[in-house]
Amino acid sequence: MNHDARRLARLAERAASRAGAFLLTVPAPESAQWTAKGHHDFVTEVDRTAERRIAEDLLRAEPDSRILGEELSPAGVDLAGLVWVVDPLDGTANYLHGYPWWSVSIAAAIDGDLVAGTILNVPAHRHCSAWQGGGAWCGANRLGVSGVRDASLALLGTGFPFKALEQLPRYLEILRQVIPLTSGVRRAGSAALDLAGVSQGHFDAFWEMQLAPWDIAAGIVLIREAGGIVTDLAGAPVRVRQTSLLAGNPWMHEWMMGQLRSVSAAPHR
């Protein structure tokens, strides 16, 4: 199966744009309409409708492809061939509370290898896209990770382990260690946008204890094509699966790996 990665990125952009336009035209559901699908994790019919629209667009363009999506097909998708990894609304809690930091994220994987992706910051109407060998772009602007090498100058992004609170003690140890050594740590609530921020040089590194494939797939493509490094917290390569994540420019990724090893080696409190 031969696919042009740039074309796949463009298809993802169009599907994300259509979903984003839909999300902007419908009112956010009232709290009585929120469904808890997990601890601190909500979904509404708006999310599901957005994913259906994305699936319709992508499958119309590539009928033999499959969808791995957060709301409608969260498990059991064979990764052989072309698979679209879709988060129709990343940052749902922000969206539901009117906090303007949420996104649509779509990536294309071929035989499990991520080759294209797009992240649409819907409130800001800003697309960032990348494809294998073609670089990462926001409009006509080519993206590149930051050149910060001094941790004291670095701004880090992160996400709380709100779905896996048993990981909170280790997370807090990492946070306790890095806050005094850097210029700051931010947590805004959309991992996709945080990863896009790494690819744009806004964050020098990002880490999170546990993320789903649809949270990270497009961001992985963006960061790699922008010259950054993405691994799990143990330093292993990341593919299309649930995983921990560490991303950054090469220097800050290496520095963060040292901090993580230090926390792992420290005696438990």
At residue 134, the pLDDT reads 98
Per-residue pLDDT of the chain (269 residues; tens, 9 = 90+): 468 999 999 999 999 999 999 999 988 767 666 555 544 444 578 888 999 999 999 999 999 999 999 777 656 678 999 999 999 999 988 998 899 999 999 999 999 999 999 999 999 999 999 999 999 999 999 999 999 999 999 999 999 998 888 999 999 999 999 999 999 999 999 999 999 999 999 999 999 999 999 999 999 999 999 999 999 999 999 989 999 999 999 999 999 999 999 998 776 55
237 burial level (CB within 10 Å; 0-12, 13-18, 19+): exposed
At residue 165, the pLDDT reads 83
Orientation of helix 191-199 relative to helix 213-225, angle to 10°? 10
Q: Is 269 helix (H, G, I), strand (E, B) or coil?
A: coil
At residue 39, the pLDDT reads 46
Q: Give the fold, CATH level 3, of 5-140.
A: Fructose-1,6-Bisphosphatase; Chain A, domain 1 (3.30.540)
Scanning 127-166, the segments in alpha helix (DSSP H) are none
Of 203, 168, 197, 200, which is closest to residue 183 (Cα–Cα)? 203
Contact 86, 219 (CB under 8 A): no
At residue 40, the pLDDT reads 46
Domain boundaries, the chain: 5-140, 151-265
Q: What number of other Cβ atoms are within 10 A of residue 58's Cβ?
A: 24
Amino acid at 159: G
pTM of the model: 0.93
Orientation of helix 5-25 relative to helix 45-61, angle to 10°? 150
CATH topology agreement for domains 5-140 and 151-265: no
Q: What number of other Cβ atoms are within 10 A of residue 88's Cβ?
A: 31
Q: How far apart are CA 168 and CA 172, in angstroms?
A: 6
User: Is 151-265 a CATH 3.40.190.80 domain?
Assistant: yes
Q: Is 206 helix (H, G, I), strand (E, B) or coil?
A: strand
